[in-house]
Structure 1
């Protein structure tokens, strides 16, 4: 399948578009800092229900590439959904198709992090002809019906690090936490498990997590998709002809590495790229390693 390589210059800054139901949603455009005329890369935030601000510039990917970063319903500058079912990932995939139409793109490259990999897969299953490349960064395998346990193994293997005991206690307390303030405190204490190391850049990135999570969009993300619909979606992924790259981190205590391998097996043209000493946010831990991996993939290297 030929790639759509035509440059498509977009105006930098925040903009709005009307989705399939008329809702005005927001997206941001980061222009390439080198002024290059290159096709855009659409980037979906995970969480689920997390403000896309946590993606930043994805470790400097905007140096040579346009980044289009939408705020999903109920996050960032996008309004909350009128119906909670609109937060489910198949509906968010419809929002993505409306964004493509708004941008005037025939085909485009798509990057999705964490839970947004489910949105990206729903989009790919419904619109396989629209994608030139698909990058799934540290995905879980819940959509595939599997919950590999190597994330726990990765976390427990780091028990000698000074933050571990407190993070372990926070992880155990999270399922029974009630108030939002308590949840945010526990997320901060558990945060080191999501990174390859716990240095200043990682601490600064983690500090914003509690305030960026939307409880209602998060709760609605996995709702309304029955087993038959899930299996049908997975089956349609076999018709996705674009190249797929799944990036995992060997210190990812959130989704682990095996989930990425399971997700990759759903596609006919996929490969997995594990990154060393990297957690759930590769562009924070090792931007100089993450960025070339993405760029090489998009260039077909």
Structure 2
């Protein structure tokens, strides 16, 4: 360990905190983008509370009521939105004008629409990627960053999960992931899936989407298959999730170069930050979070030893709830 790199905090299984009470939106709607997309958004919590924006994962996922429960609804004003092509945003599963940069524009569009000057940005997995990209390009609008399951969207990370690495830990699940792809195409699984997920035949898309989604669902938690999100079983959700996720990965996240986020991290060095990482996260291994912490030593770093990737694992919940409480003081 480098001398100047503080050791990470380690989550204990004692006295863990749970999610806040369920709370309903006090405002929602669809925000035009000036193009083919309309973005669904909602606001929850306290109308005049401390503002934050919550970014879902994927890319291709969607918001859900649990995401609201990481924040104290008596003190936070939460904004959530379904990214382009996702959830209740329209049109569903669309890849047109759907890039990292257009999503960053949507975050800014929503901030202006809601009359927010600065806000805390919260994101896990792909949500952490998007949060970092937004903060780097708009540091003056970010009051704090709370990140979980850090994903820097590098070729190394993509190869680990979609080519070789995680496959050695989950050979049974990997066999199912490979099943729709002929052997002669398996040297580039992302490209092979991209061809099928963009096929004009919805049946071809559906078969590929089911296998793509199952692979992520089977590896997401140390609690096993029972922790697999039920939405992965819904074909409309699976198609949107797989199509958009593969679209972003086949295009290297639309970043100008591999490793772009770390190369530009100096833009957020003064931004208060919290990093929460499951020690046994197979989807986004700890190496990325450690690299981010090394480049951004000012951020608080919490390793949860008995957790994988899922945000709902008890240790992850505890660490994130504590982080959002601490961020209230920023």
Aligned match for 1:94, one of 105, 108, 111: 105
Q: Give the CA deviation at 1:111.
A: 0.8
1:246 aligns with 2:275: yes
Structure 2 residue 245 is the aligned partner of structure 1 residue 218? yes
Residues 19, 56 of structure 1: alpha-carbon distance in 2 compared, 3 angstrom cutoff: same
Name the CA distance, whole Å, in 2 between partners of 1:154 and 1:277.
18
What TM-score, normalized to structure 1?
0.75
Q: Distance in 2 between matches of 1:195 and 1:209?
A: 19
| 3-state SS in 1 of match to 2:306 | coil
CA positional deviation for 1:37: 5.1
- The gaps in structure 1 that reach 5 residues or longer are 1-9, 158-163
Instruction: Please give the alpha-carbon distance, in whole angstroms, between the structure 2 residues aligned to 1:85 and 1:261.
Output: 34
Question: Equivalent of 2:146, from 124, 130, 135?
Answer: 135
Q: CA RMSD in A?
A: 3.7
Q: Name whichever of 66-75 and 261-270 sits farther off.
A: 261-270
Verify: 1:24 aligned to 2:47, yes or no: no
Residues in 1 aligned to 2:283 and 2:260: alpha-carbon distance in whole angstroms: 27
**Residues 95-138 of structure 1 deviation map (CA, whole Å, 9 limit, x = unaligned):** 11111111111110001121232222221111101111111211
Cα distance in 1 for partners of 2:25, 2:223 equals 36
CA contact (8 A) 1:72 1:92 kept: yes
The 8 Å contact of residues 250 and 279 in structure 1, kept in 2 or not, is answered as: yes
Structure 2 gaps, min length 5: 1-23, 181-188, 197-203
Residue 267 of structure 1 is matched in structure 2 by 296
State the alpha-carbon separation in 2 of the partners of residues 82 and 282 from structure 1. 24
**How does the TM-score come out when normalised to structure 2?**
0.69
- 2:173 alignment partner in structure 1: 167
SS state of the match for residue 147, structure 2? strand
Report the Cα distance in structure 2 between the residues aligned to 1:148 and 1:136, rounded to whole angstroms.
19
Displacement of 1:252 after TM fit? Answer: 1.6
CA offset at residue 221 of structure 1? 2.6
